[in-house]
Every structure is written in structure tokens, then in C-alpha cells.
Structure 1
Amino acid sequence: MYIESKLVEVNETLFSEDLSEEKDQNIIKDEINITAYSWLKAKSKIQFSKGLFIVETFFENDKNLTDIFSIGGEYIQISYLGKGDSQLVSLKERKPIEMGRINCCYNSNTVTTIEMPANKPTHYQAIYLSKKYYLELLKNEAWLADSSFYKNIIQSDFQKWGACKFPIDYSLYHILNEITKSDWNSDFKKYYLDLRLKELFLSLHFCQQELCSGVVQGISEENLEKIRTAHAYLIENFKNPPTIKVLARKVLLNELQLKKDFKKMYGKTIRSFIIELRMKKAKSLLGKHTVSEMAGILGYKSVPHFINTFKKCYGYTPKQGLNQ
């Protein structure tokens, strides 16, 4: 498998790796920064080994930017656009890359043109596995017998980008961040990473089963998609959440309909969901930051308010949690 990202307007290669060659047994890591242009900042963190490529990239561009993304060989792709308004461009159509969706695909030897409009920062995370790596990784997983995506790969039935997509949820968001951001101990990085990848594919399998269960009773199919978009947007922005009014505009629903359908679909109000996300993140920060730092990271302006919310959720304060 070969993978390359080339930025057309500045004639710069962001990354270019041949993943068919033998690599070091541990994951190789690199960070690329493009800062030589007044109108463009590009930062990319890549991790790779034979048959595996993981990337997280940020773009800030004051002019339109085009990325030619080339992949050689058969590959499985898991990608997520957390921020931006990018589009896939072909001779036949322009297809928006939907923010807040995890896209899965199985394809071979592709060259993709991605356009990113000016003044709209972009953040994406993606994982690429060769077919051989994927099959070896999951060969002993019992749930594969029920996975249509796995069956497509076994039968070499290509699933193009956009054919298999899921709204992000907190579990997927957390796993994806663990894979793309964490710096494991070098002696065990590959082992832990493979465990996380298995967890990611299992979670995606559960998502596929849930989507196949049909439309939630009392919510139209059109509104269902909008509520999922709102849910995904909150997961990405829970530290600095939008008002109901702003969120309603983003998903093109009136505020009353958004609040009613969100509660019907997820069993909680939007405000309760934001608090839940913040508290889950708070628990993961225990021992890594001071209480004051935790409050700031999670968007709380008042430390006492953060402490009271934490205690209401877990029955103990953050400080008490450190001693448990």
C-alpha cells in the first residue's frame, strides 16, 4: 500500500509513504508542518508501519486549497471530518464531506481531489489499513460472521467512499482520538494500537446494526439525519457548545423541533447530553491536570460550578476521585 497527500496550490507534498516495505516493529511517528506561506498553515501528525497508516491533519487557509490524495493497492479507510467544509471533486460531481460522520470504505488504487474553501479551518482524522493487515488484525473476532462490511472485503466487493457512513458518537470519538493522538510506551505501542483498532471496528459494527434497525418512531427520516448531525456536532464541540439557536440553524431545524426530537431519539435533553460529555471527559482527566485546569479544559468559567457538577454526577468531588 502506498499513500500520498499533495497540496496543489503550493506544490508541497504533505506526506508520502510506501507501506508495502518492512518497517520497524514499532509504529513510526512523524509530524509535518507547512508554515512558509502567509495564507496557509498545515500541520499533520502521522503514524505508520507496514500496511497501516494513521493521520491527523489541521489546515488553516485564507485561499482555496486543493489536496490530491493518492492511495495505491487495496485498502480499508476509516475517516472523520471534525471541522471544515471540504468537498470531493470528480469529473461527474462535487460531493461534500459531511462533518461529524465517520466514513468507511474498501477500495483500490484511487486518486481523490479534495477541495477546502478559504477561511474555513479543516480538521480530519483517518486510518488506512492494507487488506492483508485488516484480515490479520480481525481473523479471530467472533462478530465478523455478522459483518456485511467484512463480507464485502472477503469477496473483493469494493465499497466506495460514502457508501458506508455513521454519525459519530462519544465512544467512537474517544476511540478515534486514542488512536490518532495517544503516544503509547514505545515497547507496547503496536500491541495497544491493534487492540484499539479492533475496538473501533467492533464499535462501527454495532453502529451499522443500529442504523439498520430503522427510523425512530415519530421522527421523520429527514429530521432523523438532522438530529444525528446535531448530536455529532455537540460531541465535537462540547467544550464550547453552541446555543440551541445556533445549533438549530446549523442543522436547519426550528429550535422546538430540535429539542423535542433530540430528547425522543437520545432520551435526554441537549443540555444534559453536553453535561454528560463534559463529565466523561473530566473523569479521563483525573490525575493528569489540576481541578482548575480541568475546569478550563472543559469550558467551565467557574471552578466551583465544575466541582458541584462533577459531584452531582459521580457522588464525589474531583479531588476525592484522585484518592479513590
Structure 2
Amino acid sequence: MRIESNLLVNGKCLVKQNIKDGYDDYSLINEETVIVKGQCLEMAKSKQWSTTGLLVLDTEMLFTSRETDHFTIDGECIVMDFMHNNNVTVEIEDLGNPGYTHINTHNIWYASNFSGNYDMPPFEKVCYMVVIMSKEFYRQLFSTAIDLHPEFSINIEQSKSGYLFPKYLPFSPGIQWILQEIRNCQREGIFKRIFLETKIRELLLLQLEMHASSSIAATADLNPSELEKLHEAKAILDTGFVHPPSLMELSRKISLNEFKLKKGFKSCFGDTVRGYIIKLRMNHARKLLKSKMATVSDVAYECGYKDVSHFSAAFKGFHGFSPKKSMNILDITKVMFYGLFFMEF
């Protein structure tokens, strides 16, 4: 694959990589950072990790006037696309035009000889991460996942360009966390290779779970726009479960009526909105109790409960034992672990 990213106004090349097709267990990760400067260019920086069949790009750009990034890939490729910003106009040959990008959204697409223009507004930081894989690399890494997206797999085999999702979907907290882990990775050599492959698998897992929920949504008479709004609702709850919006407020935030929100959320995610909030709170509470850094009262407050007795009742109803007993169970588990450890000696 030959991959290039050229800034048309500045006449600068940000990415220029020739990646061997295939999959090689023994090839290591090559890492480089490209920084370019030019007219009306505040910043253009691209971290690039490459090996046989794989290129990962983590790019940041800021311009003082409008700029166009002409991005091309010669050869068949599967691309995991993670956009962090709004208002970039996208024009792509063969794949169709997504229009404007939306903040923190993602998709997967297949293309042969990809060519696209990304028109970027001035004074707005543009950030994206893309994982570009050859067909052979993708097959090797995700051979067991083919049955989870049969239509997309058929498109790949028939060399037919297309997206996994009809529209870009919002990041989940899990996706945001993994992207940050990739950015912060300090490993080297074969450990870097193993780490990257593991994180790419994890990203695909999360994307395929969203794909599965979209298939469920189709049977629940939800169109792609409504599905996108439901994922937006889930993302709001994932980060705001301590002080969540009411059902009416959530409905207004995502511009979807309450009936569709309640019915669609249960169909897509297997739980009611209220049930999902309780699950997030109770899982968070268990993590806090494990840390032994807070009292039951502190944990109750950190999970959005003003009354400790209400928190304790909810915790016992969810986990089957009280918060205090949870702390005792953790202490007993530690004693048993250390006891078994020292018995070995």
C-alpha cells in the first residue's frame, strides 16, 4: 500500500508511506513523528507507527486559513477511522460523502485505491487517528470475527467499497480509553507490536458490539439516525451516570422522543435507561470499595447517592451483598491469596 497525505494549500506532504502487503509475525514497529510548517499553518504533527500490512496515524493540525488534506491509499485497505472534531467537510470517491465530521465519532470502511479530500476550517484543531490495514493483515488479525459482520466481509472479498456503519457513531468510553492507551504507549520492539495488535483487536471488538446493536435496532424499527441518537444517549450516561439527566432531559439532548428512547435503548443495549444507570453506578461503587481509599458514605456520594441507606439497598440489590460485606470479602480474598502464596515457600 502506498499512503499519502498532502496539504494542498501549503503544498506540504504530511504522510508518505509505502507499506508492504501481507502479515509478518516477525516484523517490528517502525515509529516516526512528522512535523511540517508552512503558510497559514500553526501546527501539523503526525505520529506514525508502521509494520508489514499496517499503518497507524495519530494526527493533529491547526490552520489560520482553510486547508484541504488530500488523502490517498493505493491498494486494498481496511481502515478504522476515529475522528475527534467537528466541521471537516469530507469528499470521498466510491465510498460516498459523509458530509461533515462530528466530534468523537468512528467507523470502519473498506476501499480499493482510496482517494478523499478533507476540507478543514481555520482556527479549529483537527485531530484524528486511523488504523490502516492491508487485506491480508486484517484477515490474519480478525479471521474469527468475519461471521460478526458478514455483509462487510462479503464487500471485502468482492472488492466493493463500503462502510460497516451507515453513519459514523459516537465514541464509547472504552474506545476513548484505548485510543489514549495507544497514544501513551512507551513499549518498544516486539512488545510494541504485541501491544498495538492487542489494542486494535479491542477497538474492533467494541465497534462490532455497536454493529450488533445496530442489527438489533433494525429489527426494532429504528432507522440509522435514531440508532445514532441512542448511542449518543448511551455515551452521555457512560460519562454522566453520577448525576444523570432525567429521561425527559436525555430525550431533549438527543432530539428523540421519550417513547423511542425507552423502547430503542432497551432493544439496543438490553437494559432500561434507569437499569443501565444503576449498573454503571454499582460497578463504579465496587471499584471504589476495592481501592479501600473511601468509606461507604464516601462511595455513596461518589456514585450520586445523597442517602447512604438508599445506596446500600441498591448495592445489595445489585450485587447480592452489602457494601460493608463487599469490603470484608475483598479482605478475606487477600488473606487467602497471601496465605496460598507463602505456602508455596
> Normalising by the residue count of structure 1, what TM-score does the alignment of the two structures yield?
0.69
SS at match of 1:212: helix
SS at match of 1:120: coil
Cα separation, 1, equivalents of 2:175 and 2:251: 24
Task: Kindly provide the amino acid, as one letter, of the partner of residue 14 in structure 2.
Answer: L
User: Which position in structure 1 is the counterpart of 2:16?
Assistant: 16
Task: Kindly provide the amino acid, as one letter, of the partner of residue 309 in structure 1.
Answer: E
Cα separation, 2, equivalents of 1:117 and 1:75: 28
1:105 aligned to which of 96, 109, 129: 109
Task: Kindly provide the amino acid, as one letter, of the partner of residue 10 in structure 1.
Answer: N
User: Which position in structure 1 is the counterpart of 2:45?
Assistant: 43
Is structure 2 residue 145 aligned with structure 1 residue 152? no
Of all paired residues, the percent bearing the same amino acid is 22
- Shift, 1:124, TM fit: 1.0
* 8 Å CA contact 2:120, 2:126 repeated in 1: yes
CA radius of gyration, larger in = 2
1:151-230 equivalences in 2 (<5 Å): 151-159=154-162, 163=166, 165-214=168-217, 222-230=225-233
Q: CA separation of 1:51/1:226 partners in 2, compared to 1, >3 Å: closer, same or farther?
A: same
Deviates more, 1:34-43 or 1:117-126: 34-43
* 8 Å CA contact 2:86, 2:100 repeated in 1: no
Is structure 2 residue 7 aligned with structure 1 residue 7? yes
- Shift, 1:251, TM fit: 4.8
* 8 Å CA contact 1:227, 1:258 repeated in 2: no
Cα separation, 2, equivalents of 1:131 and 1:203: 20
* 8 Å CA contact 1:167, 1:232 repeated in 2: yes
| Superposed CA offset, 1:191-249 (max 9, x none) | 222222223323322221111002697988755433423544787x87xx999999988
Cα separation, 1, equivalents of 2:302 and 2:244: 19
User: Which position in structure 2 is the counterpart of 1:301?
Assistant: none
Alignment RMSD, CA only? 4.6
* 8 Å CA contact 1:79, 1:126 repeated in 2: yes
- Shift, 1:107, TM fit: 0.7
Task: Kindly provide the amino acid, as one letter, of the partner of residue 302 in structure 2.
Answer: T
User: Which position in structure 2 is the counterpart of 1:133?
Assistant: 137
SS at match of 1:98: coil
Cα separation, 1, equivalents of 2:216 and 2:29: 38
Is structure 2 residue 117 aligned with structure 1 residue 124? no
The structure that is helix-richer by fraction is 2
Q: CA separation of 1:203/1:224 partners in 2, compared to 1, >3 Å: closer, same or farther?
A: closer
Unaligned stretches of 5+ residues in structure 1: 292-304
Is structure 2 residue 30 aligned with structure 1 residue 28? yes
* 8 Å CA contact 2:61, 2:127 repeated in 1: yes
Q: CA separation of 1:261/1:61 partners in 2, compared to 1, >3 Å: closer, same or farther?
A: farther
Cα separation, 1, equivalents of 2:149 and 2:163: 17
| Superposed CA offset, 1:61-110 (max 9, x none) | 23212100010100000001122311112699672223333111111112
Q: CA separation of 1:180/1:72 partners in 2, compared to 1, >3 Å: closer, same or farther?
A: farther
Unaligned stretches of 5+ residues in structure 2: 305-310, 316-322, 335-345
* 8 Å CA contact 2:29, 2:193 repeated in 1: yes
SS at match of 1:16: strand
The structure that is strand-richer by fraction is 1
Q: CA separation of 1:114/1:230 partners in 2, compared to 1, >3 Å: closer, same or farther?
A: farther
* 8 Å CA contact 2:164, 2:211 repeated in 1: no
* 8 Å CA contact 1:7, 1:14 repeated in 2: yes
Cα separation, 2, equivalents of 1:8 and 1:182: 32
> Normalising by the residue count of structure 2, what TM-score does the alignment of the two structures yield?
0.66
1:74-113 equivalences in 2 (<5 Å): 74-89=76-91, 95-113=99-117
Cα separation, 1, equivalents of 2:9 and 2:132: 25
Cα separation, 1, equivalents of 2:132 and 2:265: 35
| Superposed CA offset, 1:121-170 (max 9, x none) | 2221110001111112233x2x4334312333234333258647444222
